Structure 1
Amino acid sequence: MDSLTQIILGAAVGEAVLGRKIGNKAMLYGAIAGTIPDLDIISSYFTDTVSALEIHRGFTHSIFFSALFAPIIGWLVSKYEKYKSFKNWTWLFFWCLVTHPILDAHTTWGTQLFWPLDYRLAFRTIFVIDPLYTVPFLTFLLLALFQKRTAPKRRFYNNVGLIISSSYLLLTFGLKAMAYNQFEMALKKQQIDYVELETKPSPFNTVLWSANVSTKEQYLIGYYSFFDENPIQFEAYPKNHELLGDLIHKEKVQQMIRVSKGWYSITEEKDRLYYNDLRFGLLSLQPKAQNFVFKYEIKVDDLGQVTFVETVKNREDAKQLLKDLWMRIKGN
């Protein structure tokens, strides 16, 4: 999830664990702990694009990391804070660290919660930014913040925020199941043979859902809103995996394929090859659009070494996407 949401979650969890004893400092330390797992983005400054993608939401987003570093941070904080309980500080940091990847597991990218096992948990039930999750959560956290440390209302407001946000997360599983069922029925009615079907919410909401459908020769992308009245339409995108040629055997190409879980297409533009990660969809709802959210130019140097360079996103595309989303959410 986005940094603001993780800060809010960390602050609320910190308050739930230690708010009665140390007041607003519980929220402060919780908010700090809620951002620590995302420090793995530093890896992008020390390694190549593909390796950085593979590292992201790996070790620092695992239960192992939380269990290892919670007592270390807890011990350090207990040494200089007036409140000296090493045990309670450790519990605060453990829960604030571990709830971060648990929340991230609901997104499309997912997390390696069980690192070092090579398994990325991704429920794909919520977009990385979802106001319906974040805004109510923030509202009740602020209400709690301005109450006295021992006031019953403080704990009440914080608990309400945690309950509402958690309930919304649970609701998204039901919404995903309903959308998945609609896509399945549409594929059956249209007599489309497919190998795999994945669904995810579109940006900023859980009303409009998108589907990636893998067939033998191409991918299909479709959208479904709970307000739709007309049948689901699918747009076809050729896989074009053959365009890679001998590059398919290169280590970095294989690594990128693992990162994208095999959901990728290759496009050729002006004698340049581009790798499109289909898991995160397009920056446009227009038919036949090719501007994927994660699109990388494949470059090969004189020594045959392969690198991936992410293409620059156009702000105008993002603005247009927001307009299109608003219209499409209301139904087809």
Structure 2
Amino acid sequence: MDSVTQLVTGALLAAAVVPAKHRRAALWAGAALGTLPDLDVLPLSLLNDDPVLKMTAHRSITHSLLILPWVATLIWWWCKRSNGRVAEAPKAWWWAIFLGLINHPLLDCFNAYGTWLFWPLGEEAIMWGNMFVIDPLFTLPLLLGFVWIAIKPLSRYTGKVMYGAIGLSVLYFAWSLAAQMWVMHKVDAQLAELGLEDAPRLVTATPFNTLVWQVIVMQPDGVLSGSYSISQDAADAPIALQHTASDAAVLTKIPDNVALQRLRRFNQGYFIAHEQDGQLIISDVRMGRAPHYTFNFAIARLHNGVWQELSPPVQIQDRPDVKKEWGYLQQRLWGGSVPVPEGNTP
């Protein structure tokens, strides 16, 4: 999730478990702890120039549920020695520090980007996809609760505001999971009718909402993608799936390509490959909408008929028309004619 969401969630969770007189101190401590895991981007950016490594190494060691409890305990131990509040209520403050840290990787699992939650065990990122990276309806109650506690004198209303803000966001989270499961059930039924019941598929939230869902279905020769709008599409209406081709054959020619191996582990096969200007481009299909995907990397160059590894790989920017994409989203949310995505209908 975005940094603001992680900050205010960590802040309110920490404030919720300490004694009432410690709430404001815990609020600021939780805010700092909620942003701490993402500081791994600093050494990753400063110590290497490989964009694939930067992306795939992020959300790993600093987001691991096997590492963060030890980090929380170390911070708690140090604070207990030098901070009177922590020594005064040590158990409550351990939970405050733990929740302030642990909320970050758990929030990151909500979106399709994924988090290596159990690093170093396995290599599979956890990606629920039930919310977009930024979702105002989830964040707004938490933000308002944070501002209230930060600027208002502590009173009998402080706890009600705090727990109310957390409760509203939890309810929205539960709604997002229920909506995703409903759309996933519909997708499963449609793919079974098409004979694609074994095809890997994802159902992920689209920007800023949980009413319009992106559907991604991987095929040996590319990806089928489309969307379903809870607010606009009939419950029994089939989802229009558009095909975007992938040059899967070329991948067999570069089995030892380091960037390809890293990307394949990171995105779990949700990518397409194509040649552009003598370069092999890998596009992660989980973020963005065909044909404009957010993460694209040139990983190899064709030289004298042979694919040679690019070291380091090159990130390719493919920026969509923001006005067009916003219009598409508004049409899928509120109605009107819907532009047909580029690609071929299967």
Alignment of 1:191-270 (within 5 A): 195-226=199-230, 227-229=232-234, 231-244=238-251, 246-270=253-277
Is 1:131 matched with 2:136? yes
Amino acid in the other structure paired with 2:201: L
Corresponding residue SS for 1:83: helix
Task: Give the percent of matched residue pairs that are identical in Structure 1 and Structure 2.
Answer: 27
Amino acid in the other structure paired with 1:258: R
Q: TM-score, structure 1 length as denominator?
A: 0.88
Is 1:32 matched with 2:32? yes
Q: Deviations over 1:104-150 (max 9, x none)?
A: 1221122222222123222111111001101122123323334433x
Name 2:15's counterpart in structure 1: 15
Name the stretch that deviates more: 200-209 or 90-99: 90-99
Alignment of 1:1-332 (within 5 A): 1-18=1-18, 20-42=20-42, 43-47=44-48, 48-85=50-87, 86-118=90-122, 119-149=124-154, 151-189=155-193, 195-226=199-230, 227-229=232-234, 231-244=238-251, 246-282=253-289, 289-300=290-301, 304-306=308-310, 307-314=312-319, 317-331=321-335
Contact 1:129 1:204 in 2 (8 A): yes
Name 1:285's counterpart in structure 2: none
Distance 1:263 1:320 in 2: 25
Distance 2:58 2:268 in 1: 15
Q: TM-score, structure 2 length as denominator?
A: 0.85
In structure 1, stretches of 5+ residues that fail to align are 283-288
Name the stretch that deviates more: 62-71 or 241-250: 241-250
Aligned-pair distance for 1:80?
4.2
Corresponding residue SS for 2:226: strand
Q: Deviations over 1:276-324 (max 9, x none)?
A: 1112232xxxxxx42211111224599944332222243x623432222
Corresponding residue SS for 1:297: strand
Amino acid in the other structure paired with 2:79: V
Contact 2:109 2:127 in 1 (8 A): yes
Aligned-pair distance for 1:52?
2.2
Distance 2:72 2:174 in 1: 27
The alignment yields a C-alpha RMSD, in angstroms, of 2.4
Contact 1:147 1:153 in 2 (8 A): no
Aligned-pair distance for 1:62?
1.7
Distance 1:231 1:300 in 2: 40
Aligned-pair distance for 1:74?
2.2
| Structure 1 residue ranges (4+ consecutive) displaced by more than 6 angstroms after TM superposition | none
Name 2:344's counterpart in structure 1: none
Distance 1:23 1:232 in 2: 48
Aligned-pair distance for 1:67?
1.3
Amino acid in the other structure paired with 1:183: V
Aligned-pair distance for 1:78?
3.7
Corresponding residue SS for 2:233: coil
In structure 2, stretches of 5+ residues that fail to align are 339-346
Contact 2:60 2:116 in 1 (8 A): yes
Contact 2:76 2:94 in 1 (8 A): yes
Aligned-pair distance for 1:89?
3.4
Distance 2:91 2:271 in 1: 47
